[in-house]
Amino acid sequence: MRVTTFGDLLLDVIVRTDEPLVTGDDRPATTLVSAGGQAANVAAWVAVLGGAARFVGKRGDDSAGKLVGAELRGYGVDVAGPVEGRTGVVVSVAAAGERTMASDRGSAPDLSADELDATWFDCDVLHISGYSLQREPVASAAARAAGFARANGARVSVDLSTWSSIDDAFRVRVRAIGPEVVFAGERERDTFGVLATDWIVKRGALGVIVGGREHSAAPTVVVDTTGAGDAFAAGYFVGGVDRGLEAAARCCAKLGAMP
């Protein structure tokens, strides 16, 4: 299975503490700094699970960009796309069972359609992060990427990513691409509305709904849920629902979104 992912390659800073944060004071925490970004996470998991993976996106020409690019390639992912500007950073804070994220996407949204190479999209599946459909010019680049992929006989999937950024412009962009598969949480699906596609609904600890059928989550000891949906998508592409649930459980049992 050859999977190309389209979206962000960022620097993830994950902070985990068992106590609520207190304004103006300190709390003990466990932290992790690694490569991240939804599209990058999926690509890394695809490669680790035995598929052929390529990531396409714009990352910064800075020390962070060099670090995350090298880490992603270390998983066996072919990293493609222009290198310029600055690399984005996402800070994820998990405190007392609640997770909050602060996202700076850096130069990733500046990727334009004319910077794409059609050969990057010789694949079986193109997986587009919904973050790439929130603004221009990267949204137009995603649409062109879908065209390149379909010219090679690939299926196109989209992850809606976050319910709070779904607006009319986003809906128009997703419908114009016409993905064969859409990954979404229940709130994301309900916020988006009607779309003729195969919905894969992620339900956290309850598992997933695929083709209208409920599948329970695989048992695991939850350490950190960051990236579990990305791991599921990768496993689903490589080996179906059960492989996806196994990958999600494996992701939850460790700190961070990468394998």
Q: DSSP letters along 192-254, please?
A: H---SSEEEEE-GGG-EEETTEEEPPPP---S--TTHHHHHHHHHHHH-HHHHHHHHHHHHTS
> Is position 129 within any domain?
yes
> Is position 116 within any domain?
yes
Which structural domain, as residue segments, surrounds residue 126? 2-8+37-88+106-252
> Is position 98 within any domain?
no
> Is position 53 within any domain?
yes
> Is position 16 within any domain?
no
> Is position 13 within any domain?
no
Per-residue pLDDT of the chain (259 residues), as tens digits, is 999 999 999 999 988 888 887 888 888 888 889 999 999 999 999 999 999 999 999 999 999 999 999 999 999 999 999 999 999 999 988 776 667 888 899 999 999 999 999 999 999 999 999 999 999 999 999 999 999 999 999 999 999 998 999 999 999 999 999 999 999 999 999 999 999 999 999 999 999 999 999 999 999 998 888 899 999 999 999 999 999 999 999 999 998 899 9
Q: Cβ distance 6 to 132 under 8 Å?
A: yes
* Global confidence as pTM: 0.94
Domain count within the chain: 1
> Is position 29 within any domain?
no
For residue 226, the Cα-to-chain-centroid distance in whole angstroms is 11
Structure token pair of residue 112: 């334009």
Residue 151 sits in a domain of what CATH number?
A: 3.40.1190.20
